[in-house]
């Protein structure tokens, strides 16, 4: 299981917290359109079955939770769309 920030119009550094089934599983600092570019999290091992995925910018934006169903051996990348003004 991965999280990927989709923010093509941004040039920003964004610390994001990730949760699976309402438990914090990690934090990563995305670098969007800045060297070195970093927009995909490390992998988070997740069992097969139904899971609730969540993400939030530390101190800011919160993405709506997403319910997913994973089959055994599946690899999922959860896209996190983000708009910078």
**What is the pLDDT at residue 8?**
86
- Domain total of the chain: 1
* pLDDT, one tens digit for every residue, the chain (85 residues): 999 999 988 899 999 999 999 999 999 999 999 999 999 999 999 999 999 999 999 999 999 999 999 999 999 999 999 988 6
CATH number for the domain harbouring residue 49 = 2.60.40
**What is the pLDDT at residue 85?**
66
**What is the pLDDT at residue 64?**
97
First-to-last C-alpha distance (Å) of the chain? 29
- Ramachandran bin of 8, using left for φ above 0, alpha for ψ from -120 to 50, beta for the remaining angles: alpha
Tell me the residue range of the domain where 9 lies: 2-81
**What is the pLDDT at residue 56?**
97
Closest C-alpha to 65, from 75, 78, 74, 77: 78
Measured CA to CA, the distance from residue 40 to residue 55 in angstroms comes to 13
**What is the pLDDT at residue 70?**
95
Closest C-alpha to 14, from 2, 25, 3, 1: 3
**What is the pLDDT at residue 9?**
86
């Amino acid at each position: 299981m991965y999280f990927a920030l989709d923010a093509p119009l941004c040039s920003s550094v964004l610390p994001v917290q990730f949760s699976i089934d309402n438990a914090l599983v990690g934090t990563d600092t995305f670098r969007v359109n800045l060297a070195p570019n970093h927009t995909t999290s490390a992998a988070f091992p997740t069992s097969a079955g139904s899971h609730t995925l969540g993400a939030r910018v530390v101190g800011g934006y919160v993405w709506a939770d997403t319910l997913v169903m994973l089959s055994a051996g599946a690899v999922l990348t959860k896209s996190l769309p983000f708009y910078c003004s």
